[in-house]
Structure formats: C-alpha cells, structure tokens
Structure 1
Amino acid sequence: MPRRRTIPVSILVSATLLLAGCAGTVSVEAAPESDSTACADVMVRLPDSVAGAERRWTDSQSTAAWGDPTTVIFSCGVASPGPTTLRCESVSGVDWVIDESEAPRFRVTTFGREPAVELYFDTEVSDEIQGVSSRDVLEALSPLVSRLPRDGGACVDRAEATPVPSPVAP
C-alpha cells in the first residue's frame, strides 16, 4: 500500500517543480525560419548574461531573453530586411539595421545574413527598469551572430546609398 501512495506523490512533486520552473518564462513569437540549423548553431552559444542582464527562459524556438523585467529579446529566423533608409551600423563584422522609432527601445535586425536575427532592447533607466547599453548588447551578440551565413548584403555609407540627382538638360 505505501508503494501506491509514493507514485502519485512523486508525480505531484514533479508536476509542481515543472510548473514552478515555467513561472518566469518570457513569451516570444517564433520567427518563420526559427527551425533553421543556422539558428540552432547560434542558440547553443548564447551567453548567460548580456550587458549585465541575466538570461531567462522563453517559450519559442530560436528565441532568448535577458533581464527581469526583460530588457533584451533575441529572435533568430526573421526575414532579412530589404533596402532601407534606416541607419545601419557594423559591429564586430555584423551589419545591423537600427529602428529608432520607439526610442529608448530599439529594434535592430541583421543585414546581409540569412536567416536574419532581430534584437529588441530597452535602454531606458527608471526606478523599475535598469536599461541596457545598446553598444554592450551588440558587442556581446555580434560575434555569435557572425556565424550566420552571409547573403551578399552589406551596409553602405548613407552618401553612397542616396543617389545624387543629375542636372536636368534644358
């Protein structure tokens, strides 16, 4: 009889521990190419902390998050951006297109890598949030992201990207 009670108690304890481990999970939508082997290669190398923020569990393939509250979200397998007028910076050999429309929260996406990686991070510092340095985030993750295959695209100087109008002949 004692043996029968042990089995249900063991199952209950295991289920409780499993649920407790999921309490801090960050919900992040998986990207369309999140199942690529290139993303898997990057994911196994991600650090436990980025810009002073500790890594947290996420609920989707090829995603990661750091900070509590979350200050950095990483998604591998997003669509590569096409030509854009957004600022593009190169960090450790990886080109990043920078969307500053929600500053002090930034969305940056690799340019010239397939599949692409998107980072969303918060640089704001307040009583509740200790924001991260965008430079620290990009310097920590760019060497790992550089493992993704290149697709031929690269950042160009804004002057080179903007065509100069030719004089109109009378």
Structure 2
Amino acid sequence: MTPAKGANDPACAAVTVRLPDAVDGQQRRWTDAQATAAWGDPSTVLLTCGVAEPGPSTLPCDTRAGVDWIIDDTDAPKYRFTTYGRTPALEVYLDYDAVSGSQVLTDIGTAVGQLPTTGAVCTERPAS
C-alpha cells in the first residue's frame, strides 16, 4: 500500500491505533505504509487515512456508526467509501463479493469517529 499525502496527520495515528483486529470476519494484516490498514487474506478491505477531503458530490452518502461516507461503486463489486465532513479524510476500498460494506464501516466506526469533523454533513441518503 502507499500512504496518502496527509498520512502523517496526528489524527490518522489516532484512528489507526484504534482499528479492530477483524472486520466482518476478516483478520487484520500488517501494512508497512503509514496510516493504512488491510484485512483479509488476500486483502478484501483496504483503509487509507490522509486522503484529500471530498467536496460536495452527487454520489450517494450514508451514515454508519456516526460517520458520513460517500459511496463510489464505479468499480463494482469493488466499492470505495470516503469519509465526508472529516479532516483528514479516510478512504476504505473493499470487495463486496467478500465482505459487507455496511458491516465493515460499522466495525471501524469507533476508530474513524476519532477524526475531527468539519461541520459538513450528508444531505442525500441512498434509496432503501
């Protein structure tokens, strides 16, 4: 994995030390890039902290465990979830054939909730 431009932000360290040992049944793996994490063998969930903060988007946005996420399914069944209204931003890239995005985001929610909020919130939610 490659660290994001903002990986050395202390808020990313606050997140990575709180990440769970497993998400949706996938065990955490060692990564050697700062402010990153991976779960599964082979990796089915990749996390990178310190990515660019997204601006307003037409992509769906959902809230899990108190964190707003922009959902990009362009590469389905691989999905990219990016925090919205958090600085620095954090991205999760996962394989929906192997894990549930909803469960993964719930499992990491407490850790990701450590990121400071900007005041921006999701206004659109995906259709149920």
For Structure 1 versus Structure 2, the TM-score category normalised by the shorter chain is over 0.9
Higher helix share: 1
1:146 to 2:119 alignment: no
Tell me if structure 1 keeps the 8 A contact 2:60–2:124.
no
Deviation at 1:77? 0.5
How many matched pairs? 125
Deviation at 1:142? 1.5
TM-score, structure 2 length as denominator?
A: 0.94
Per-residue CA deviations over 1:5-53 (Å, capped at 9, x if unaligned) read: xxxxxxxxxxxxxxxxxxxxxxx11001100110101111111111100
Share of identical aligned residues, percent?
52
Gaps of 5+ in 1: 1-27, 125-130, 159-170
Instruction: For 1:154-169, list aligned pairs within 5 A.
Output: 154-157=121-124
Deviation at 1:135? 1.1
Runs of 4+ in 1 over 6 A off after TM superposition: none
Measure the CA separation in 2 of the matches of 1:43 and 1:144: 7
1:52 to 2:19 alignment: no
Deviation at 1:157? 2.7
Instruction: For 1:16-31, list aligned pairs within 5 A.
Output: 28-31=1-4
Q: 1:111 aligns with which of 43, 68, 84?
A: 84
SS of 1:142's equivalent? helix
SS of 1:101's equivalent? strand
Deviation at 1:97? 0.1
Measure the CA separation in 2 of the matches of 1:144 and 1:55: 14
Measure the CA separation in 2 of the matches of 1:38 and 1:61: 12
Gaps of 5+ in 2: none
Tell me if structure 1 keeps the 8 A contact 2:27–2:40.
yes
Q: Which has the higher contact order (CA 8 A, sep 6+)?
A: 2
Higher strand share: 2
Larger Rg: 1
**What is the alpha-carbon root mean square deviation over aligned residues?**
0.9
